[in-house]
Structure 1
Amino acid sequence: MNVWDRRARPAGIAADLGLGAVFAAVLAFWASRIAGSWGGGYWQFGCAAGAAVCVIALVRRLDRSRAAVAGLAVAVAAILAARFAHLPAEPGPAMVLGLSVLVGSAVRTLPVSSACAIAAGGFAVVACSLLSAHASSFGVPAVTMLNGAGWLAALVAGLCPRLLAARRRAAAEKVRRDERLNLARELHDVVAHHVTSIVLQAQAARLVTRRHPEKTDASLADIEAAGSDALAATRRVVGLLRDVDDAAPATLGPERLSDLVRRFDGRGPAVHLRLPEGEGQGESVWPPEVTSTVYRVVQESLTNVSRHAPHARSVTVSVTQDREVVTVEVVDDAPSASARHHRRGGYGLTGMRERLDALGGTLRAGPRPGAGWSVLATLPLPARKRR
């Protein structure tokens, strides 16, 4: 697959086809104006230079930086040629449009230093247009005003999406960072749980050794297994330690899924909770990091329902477990609404996805066929919990 195939998606190709049609129309219009006012073949140079910049703009996806530099170089060369050969002022409208596309695209996507250099190059072209410009009753030549307007439009078209994307990335990163800190603060609980188990088994082993020395090996094997579990659980959580500060610990407390559902059920649609059969509060048999993650996924999903699906009549929370995986699914029956689909994919789910990724799980969220919304999370169990 070549570079064009990788970078130019169908929507971009369609947009470029439309842009090419606009370029052709502007070139034809400008050629007729030059032919009418200057006569002869004066239109040929301007149209050739403008067409060259327009073609470069159409293939900018191959390399936006080089395309912008090439377009600016053609524009400067056209200005100098028009100045010394006494040709119509350059850049013309088609070239201005092509340069606007190149500069706007570069400002939007390139690294800051490259984007600033391209923007400065565009301003230099605006200044250079004074060399080939003809006097105007407004004091500023028309070609310079046209180029200045195109340059400003390119900056706005490039900077607005760039700043918006940066804002979204910053918000998403804050959510990820907060989720990592929450997990890091839960590390104390995870370690305490497993170390307590080891201590209890060690105490039991001492009693067994005194009364039944032949059972010492079995007791030591249990302690070794508990230590392995503690090490595995710690490794799964400790990798998320990032920039720990003095903020207050964030823990879930003793609440269980049934308590969470009961609270939500009183102020929203009816909630039906399905837990693994025969286990009641089934989450209690899982490792602490699994329990807290299941809780947080259900909590975030129910919060999204209350915020973004006010017309939902019921919500079903299903928690199932096989030998290797815990699956959590939260579905509602709210009527379809295109605007809601965008709101339901917020930053809360970004934090949940960060947590699940760290533990080897997956998260899928999206509209259901017909109506409603579904959040589906899968979380692998440690080897000893699969038995």
Structure 2
Amino acid sequence: MRVRHRPVGRARGAADAGLGVLFAATLAFWAYRIAVTWGGAHWWFGCAAGAVVCAIALVRRRDRARAAVAGLAVAGVTVLVTRLAGLPGEPGPAMALALSVLVGSAVRALPASRAAAVAAGGFAVVAATWPAVPPSSGLPPVTSLNAAAWLAGLALGSCSRLFEARHRAAAERVRREERLALARELHDVVAHHVTGIVLQAQAAQLAARRRPERAEGPFAEIETAGSDALAAVRRVVGLLGDAGDAPSATAVPERLGELVERFGDRGGQGVQEGREHGPAVRLDLSADESAWPPEVAVTVHRIVQESLTNVSRHARQARSVTVRVVQERDSVVVEVVDDAPQAPAGYRRGGYGLVGMRERLDALGGTLRAGPRPGAGWAVLATLPVPARARR
């Protein structure tokens, strides 16, 4: 599956650029307010310290832990210096915003122990802004500002961390379900080949009793069937971790023509709003399905099935879908293409279905690419190697 890093990188770059503009505007505003309120050159120290922390926040992705520690350290020193020198209270708005970004980024991405340490460091900076003798009027404005920024960073980082954890758990659940399905199919693969071996062994026994000179052929077939079974098992078993209890047999998938026809009859899994039928589906099949090993046939079927399901779920404006399955010299190529209008930048179609397809293809040594086509539409392209014996 081809992962599109460029839109994500551009989005991050745009976000950092916007954050940099916000930092600069906040620094300029706060320097102006200090100059007007305090007069003289009281503004420059807080502005310089704030610029340093803002710069650290902009490069936080290189090393989130060190960036957070460095930003908190600069903030702590700034609070101490301003307290001793009688300068305006710090951290100011720009530094508070940068610290919020650093804390949120660390809480979101770092291991739990490090994330907790960074969050505690942020709280320590907030506590340090409290005067030695608390005023009777309540929280000082600097303390209130930094407490709000710290809480905002902590909340956003925690929510992002929880969302990503749920996403990973869902992806892992899909992978496990796919592995269990593969385990059941592995059972069928072994049963298929072992049945052939048993039949050939019975034929060899009869030939050995009646015509010994013809017994060599069945024994050669037994060797071939045994080698095919061993190769099929090796292609699938590497993916299976914990397959649970003994697997049960799975049904042989319907033929691709029947699958495509059924999808077209259902109108893309239901009548779409404002349309009587779903997209027209055309099958271009230039391969002999019966010649494929069972694990290859099932995988081709699942790829086409999942791709058509994704069209019905995510491409309701598509008018036509083309399913192309081609038998090449040493592989089977599956391509599913639709003509839906171009989705917004960064949109990902398929979700966890692509995860399952990727697991299957990895198990068989295949490849998967999925993404938007130039202009309009979406394409899924899968390549599965076919054992040499199966191509005979």
Q: TM-score, normalised by structure 1?
A: 0.87
**Partner Cα separation in structure 1 for residue 201 and residue 105 of structure 2:** 66
From 338, 358, 361, the counterpart of 1:332: 338
Give the letter aligned to residue 87 of structure 2. L
Shift of 1:146: 0.4
**Which is further off, 60-69 or 213-222?**
213-222
> What is aligned with 2:270?
none
Give per-residue Cα distances to partners, 1:135-170, cap 9 Å, x unaligned. Answer: 474x11000000011112212332333322222222
> What is aligned with 1:251?
250
For 2:381, what is the secondary structure of its paired residue?
Answer: strand
**Partner Cα separation in structure 2 for residue 267 and residue 325 of structure 1:** 31
Give per-residue Cα distances to partners, 1:238-295, cap 9 Å, x unaligned. Answer: 2233333469847243522222223222111433323236xxxx32221110111111
> What is aligned with 1:230?
229
Contact 1:126-1:144 at 8 Å conserved across structures: yes
> What is aligned with 1:65?
65
For 1:130, what is the secondary structure of its paired residue?
Answer: coil
From 286, 297, 300, the counterpart of 2:303: 297
Is 1:34 equivalent to 2:34 in the alignment?
yes
**Which is further off, 123-132 or 247-256?**
247-256
> What is aligned with 1:275?
285
Shift of 1:343: 5.9
Shift of 1:195: 0.5
Is 1:372 equivalent to 2:377 in the alignment?
yes
Give per-residue Cα distances to partners, 1:6-41, cap 9 Å, x unaligned. Answer: xx9555445434433333332232223223222333
**Partner Cα separation in structure 1 for residue 291 and residue 168 of structure 2:** 37
Give per-residue Cα distances to partners, 1:15-72, cap 9 Å, x unaligned. Answer: 4344333333322322232232223332233223222222322332332111111111
Listed as ranges, the matches of 1:50-199 within 5 Å are 50-131=50-131, 135=135, 137=137, 139-199=138-198
**Partner Cα separation in structure 2 for residue 258 and residue 55 of structure 1:** 59
Contact 2:253-2:301 at 8 Å conserved across structures: no
Change in CA separation of 1:204 and 1:182 when aligned onto 2, cut-off 3 Å: same
Give the letter aligned to residue 124 of structure 2. A
From 313, 316, 320, the counterpart of 1:310: 316
Specify every segment of 5 or more residues in structure 2 that has no aligned partner in the other structure, as ranges: 1-7, 268-278
> What is aligned with 1:323?
329
**Which is further off, 120-129 or 47-56?**
47-56
Contact 1:136-1:142 at 8 Å conserved across structures: no
Give the letter aligned to residue 311 of structure 2. V
Shift of 1:100: 1.5
Specify every segment of 5 or more residues in structure 1 that has no aligned partner in the other structure, as ranges: 1-7
Contact 1:308-1:340 at 8 Å conserved across structures: no
For 1:187, what is the secondary structure of its paired residue?
Answer: helix
RMSD: 2.7
Shift of 1:174: 1.4
Contact 1:205-1:220 at 8 Å conserved across structures: yes
**Partner Cα separation in structure 1 for residue 300 and residue 145 of structure 2:** 59
For 2:239, what is the secondary structure of its paired residue?
Answer: coil
Contact 1:275-1:318 at 8 Å conserved across structures: yes
> What is aligned with 1:16?
16
For 1:131, what is the secondary structure of its paired residue?
Answer: coil
**Partner Cα separation in structure 1 for residue 202 and residue 124 of structure 2:** 80
Give the letter aligned to residue 194 of structure 1. H
Is 1:285 equivalent to 2:284 in the alignment?
no
> What is aligned with 2:4?
none
Change in CA separation of 1:258 and 1:44 when aligned onto 2, cut-off 3 Å: closer
**Which is further off, 260-269 or 304-313?**
304-313
> What is aligned with 1:201?
200
For 1:329, what is the secondary structure of its paired residue?
Answer: strand
**Partner Cα separation in structure 2 for residue 194 and residue 321 of structure 1:** 22
**Partner Cα separation in structure 2 for residue 169 and residue 344 of structure 1:** 17
**Partner Cα separation in structure 2 for residue 188 and residue 299 of structure 1:** 22
**Partner Cα separation in structure 1 for residue 379 and residue 325 of structure 2:** 14
Contact 1:90-1:132 at 8 Å conserved across structures: no
Give the letter aligned to residue 364 of structure 1. R
Contact 2:50-2:92 at 8 Å conserved across structures: yes
Q: TM-score, normalised by structure 2?
A: 0.86
**Which is further off, 284-293 or 43-52?**
43-52
Contact 2:56-2:71 at 8 Å conserved across structures: yes
Contact 2:179-2:243 at 8 Å conserved across structures: no
Give the letter aligned to residue 240 of structure 2. L
Give the letter aligned to residue 179 of structure 2. R
Of the two structures, which has the highest relative contact order with CA contacts closer than 8 Å and spacing of 6 or more?
2
Give the letter aligned to residue 89 of structure 2. A
**Which is further off, 172-181 or 20-29?**
20-29
Contact 2:291-2:391 at 8 Å conserved across structures: no
Change in CA separation of 1:12 and 1:332 when aligned onto 2, cut-off 3 Å: closer
Equivalenced residues, count: 374
